[in-house]
Amino acid sequence: MRHNHHPSFHAQRGSMLVIAVFAMTAMAALGAALMQINWSQKDTTTREVLGTRAWFAANSGTEYAMVRLFPLEKNPNLPSAGACETANAVIPFTSKGLLGCSAKVTCETLGTAPSVQYRIESRGECGSGSHKVVRVQESWARGIAP
């Protein structure tokens, strides 16, 4: 007598269910990993854009201080040239490109005439909360002899 050594379908019942559960778990894990990567890329892009905007805000603050120190033309509404105190300011930007950004400018006078020097620090800030980005620029200028 010959015995059939092939497993019967009855003995294999339920194995498809195990395979289906495993496949669903693997797909869920893959989906969660892809969502994490997507979130990480969005966060990095946001910080990069805010960092660029903060750098331009700091640069604008530096330019503001330089114009106060070395005006191109006489303006009776502005204090005298070379007055470092007039360059100290907090500038909230309202233009479309820098909306929500600000620059804090500080100016320090070093030395005395005729070799006076100015140290200008401009701190640009953009964003808020966990997405707040700060960029600092420092510039040095030498006074112009009268």
Q: Is residue 1 part of a domain?
A: no
Instruction: Give SS3 for 87.
Output: helix
Q: Is residue 84 part of a domain?
A: yes
* Cβ proximity of 124 and 56 under 8 Å: yes
Q: Is residue 9 part of a domain?
A: no
Q: Which tokens belong to 108?
A: 């320090």
Domain range for 58 is 15-142
Q: Is residue 116 part of a domain?
A: yes
Q: Is residue 10 part of a domain?
A: no
Q: Is residue 4 part of a domain?
A: no
Q: How many domains are contained in the chain?
A: 1
Q: DSSP state, 33?
A: H
- Taking the complete model, does pTM exceed 0.85, yes or no? no
Tens of pLDDT along the chain (146 residues) come to 555 556 565 666 667 778 888 888 888 888 887 777 777 777 778 889 999 999 999 999 999 999 888 887 776 666 555 578 778 889 999 988 898 899 999 999 888 777 888 999 999 999 888 889 999 999 998 877 66
Query: Partners of 137 in the beta sheet?
Result: 122
Q: Is residue 22 part of a domain?
A: yes
